[in-house]
Amino acid sequence: MFKKSIIATTMLLASSTVFAADIDNTNLDISFQGAHFQGAGNQISMLRVPVTNKETGKTQFFDMSAQFAADKNGNLIFKKMSSVKSVAFASANQLVAGHYIDTSGRSWYVDGPSAGADGRLVWVIQMPYVSGTSYNAQVMSGSFSENELTKGLSGSDKLAKKASALNYGVIGGDDIASAAQSGKMISLVRYSSKGVPDRNWTLRMTPEPEKED
């Protein structure tokens, strides 16, 4: 029922609804308009979604991710949806080092920060080689216009006109990437040569799996 309520609420938001919506069979309401959305392809991340207890007035925040798909009747639905309670809010630019998993259950590792040029902070984000696929990214804090990692990359001139206050850098050697932390989740985005998102990973911090003897 909660999943259905989320789908219905999202559709209402698409119609410019700006009011909180009740979650069926609970004393809670949810306000997606107060969350931060990032997406690419069929993947969407919803960071710090406010959920309020209508009786006590207490609001808690949740980080959610999902993929869009179609059911057998051709209706648009969410699949592979997950949510975790947000921890105390900190700057989206302060990535937390550690072990993460994406929505496909693959391990990612975040290392840093280290000191870069002009005192900027630099993080390395890696997904080890799995089934023929691996990713390596490096992102840096500070303004996009003076980011040494993105200079000369395809799409940097277009993205410079609209870049927000995120950590930007490079992924795969020649594509621009950004990374933002919210609670225990990181939203990692890759950009096309047109300066628009074309791939998005939602990474959730988890304990590192124990190595087999």
**Residues 150-185: pLDDT tens digits?**
999 999 999 988 888 789 999 999 999 999 998 889
- Based on the fold, state whether residues 112 and 78 are members of the same structural domain: no
Say if 211 falls within a structural domain. no
Q: What gap in Å lies between CA 174 and CA 152, rounded to an integer?
A: 9
102/201 same-domain check:
yes
Burial 86-97 (b: 16+ CB within 10 A, else e): beeeeebbebbe
Higher pLDDT, 18 or 120: 120
Of 190 and 24, more confident: 190
CA geometry: angle at 59 spanning 58 and 65, to 5°?
A: 155
Separation of first and last alpha carbons in the chain: 43
Last residue of a domain, one of 52, 85, 118: 85
pTM above 0.85, yes or no: no
User: Are residues 102 and 198 both part of a single domain?
Assistant: yes
Statement to judge: residues 80 and 105 lie in one domain:
no
Asked if 78 and 23 sit in the same domain, the reply is yes
Distance CA 7, CA 4 (A): 5
| Residue closest to 141 by CA, chosen among 160, 161, 116, 163 | 116
* Residue 24 in this model has a pLDDT that exceeds 80: no
103 and 200 assigned to the same domain:
yes
Q: What is the pLDDT of residue 84?
A: 65
Q: Of 58, 85, 112, which residue is a domain's last?
A: 85
105 and 200 both lie in a single domain: yes
What is the model's pLDDT at position 18?
46
CA distance readout (Å), 137 to 83, 148, 180: 25, 14, 13
Count of domains observed in the chain: 2
Same domain for 73 and 120?
Answer: no
pLDDT of residue 5: 37
